């Protein structure tokens, strides 16, 4: 007695899965980065304006994390908080993606 199982996968199906996981991972990465940047920064928060203005947006498949305070870029140059948050979030997301593909 023998049992056999076959499954045919098309490249189209595989790519659709990878792209779907990739898009979800990008938005997860952006959300995680914003959360970490808001809670784990080294700058002295005097008014809360910059911290509360950290956000993310998706445009044509690209995701960006930024502030709307008008001076967040200056703070980032002096006391980086978004880039370190991205690096920290990237480690979390990498583990999640590995389990889905």
In this structure, the number of other CB atoms found within 10 A of the CB of residue 22 comes to 14
**Residue holding tokens 């779907």?**
20
| pLDDT per residue rounded down to tens, the chain (101 residues) | 778 777 777 888 778 877 777 788 888 899 999 999 999 888 887 888 999 999 999 988 788 999 999 999 999 999 999 999 999 998 877 776 666 65
CB proximity list for 85: less than 8 A, separation 6 or greater? 32, 33, 34, 35, 36, 37, 40, 41, 65
| pTM recorded for the entire structure | 0.76
User: Where are the alpha helices (H) located in 1-101, listed in sequence order?
Assistant: 11-39, 49-52, 72-78, 82-98
- Structural domain boundaries in the chain: 11-98
Give CA–CA dist 29/32, Å, rounded.
Answer: 5
């Amino acid at each position: 007695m023998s049992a056999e199982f076959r499954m045919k996968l098309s490249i189209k199906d595989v790519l659709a899965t990878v792209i779907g996981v990739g898009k979800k991972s990008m938005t997860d990465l952006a959300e995680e980065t914003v959360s970490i940047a808001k809670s784990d920064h080294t700058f002295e928060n005097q008014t809360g304006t910059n911290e509360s203005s950290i956000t993310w947006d998706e445009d044509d498949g690209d995701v960006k994390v930024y502030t709307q305070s008008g001076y967040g870029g200056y703070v980032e140059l002096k006391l980086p908080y978004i880039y370190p948050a991205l690096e920290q979030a990237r480690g979390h997301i990498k583990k999640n993606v590995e389990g889905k593909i």
